[in-house]
Amino acid sequence: MKRLTMLLIAVISSALVSAQSQKSVAERLGYPANSRLLVIHADDLGMMHTVNTAIEEALEKGWVTSASIMVPCPWFPEVAEWAKAHPNADLGIHITLNADWTTYRWRPVSGQGKGSSLLDKTGYLPLLTEYVDSHAKMSDVETEARAQIDQAQAAGIRPSHLDPHMGTIASTADLLGVYVGLGNHYKLPVLLEPKSGRGINAGNNMPVGIDGFFSTTQLTRGSVLVDRILQMMPGVPQSQWFDAYKKMLAPLPPGTYELIVHLAHNDAEIQGATADHPDWGGQWRQNDLDTVSNPEFQKFLRDQGFILVTWKQLSRALSQ
């Protein structure tokens, strides 16, 4: 998920809402027009055991409202078992075209044949988004992405949305076309972005938009559910983690937002897997876990008047 904020992200529906609808998402869900709705979303469920235990606890205790699953990863079966026992959990599919840790890798779900454009020379999914951008055939991408969604559904998971691991399946016009097509096919909201902006810790995103990919007739205002995606970015000391989130969230005007967090216990498992990746590694994820579980952070959200919502709730706004 390390490049997700390289894309400005918002949500479009597989079934586009009429442009005539002028109500805000909050109003369509029965909240006042000046409300601030917030999805607190945990990425990378299934990546490893320590990530699973942290995210599952966060979902159970309401520290986060949503999470997305990396189906190709070794610890997906553990997630599937947990999901059976928690059928109301808000779980999306984190479409995964990269295996991005140097010494901890995973292979495609779809059994891509030798010579597939989604395999590196060792038979794993590629490390980098740039490799997928320059090598991937859209037929291979669609086959793999569908296999991930189908495997999750076969395991009894009913996804609430789709989103892109590392931003990869939304990183070029061709990839984005496949991605939007998945939303249409499975009738699920997908994570994208409708406009450009800049900044990280202030709560904005990088200036990469989709204006050149889709016309306004394809992306109507009614199809956009999230006004902005926010997450921590490199350069913030551990001692300033909590304050950085407060500075990110407090200035937001009325609207609908997603705060992406990355959770794990900073133990030997994740330390080994991410040894050469301090960003989004073990300590980073422990910092995020410490933040969302902190009663002071929860009080801050209440005092700010944020209304915590799920993807399932947001999806209902698309039919209003």
What is the residue-level pLDDT of the chain in tens, covering all 320 positions?
444 333 333 343 333 333 335 788 899 999 999 999 999 999 999 999 999 999 999 999 999 999 999 999 999 999 999 999 999 999 999 999 999 999 999 999 998 888 899 999 999 999 999 999 999 999 999 999 999 999 999 999 999 999 999 999 988 889 988 998 898 899 998 876 555 322 222 222 322 333 333 333 344 334 558 888 899 999 999 999 999 999 999 999 999 999 999 999 999 999 999 999 889 999 999 999 999 999 999 999 999 999 999 999 998 887 76
Position 40 scores a pLDDT of: 98
**What pTM does this model have?**
0.86
In angstroms, the CA 184 to CA 232 distance is 30
At the top level of CATH, the class of 4-103+144-317 is alpha beta
In the chain, domain spans: 4-103+144-317
CA nearest to 98, candidates 139, 47, 41, 149? 47
Position 265 scores a pLDDT of: 98
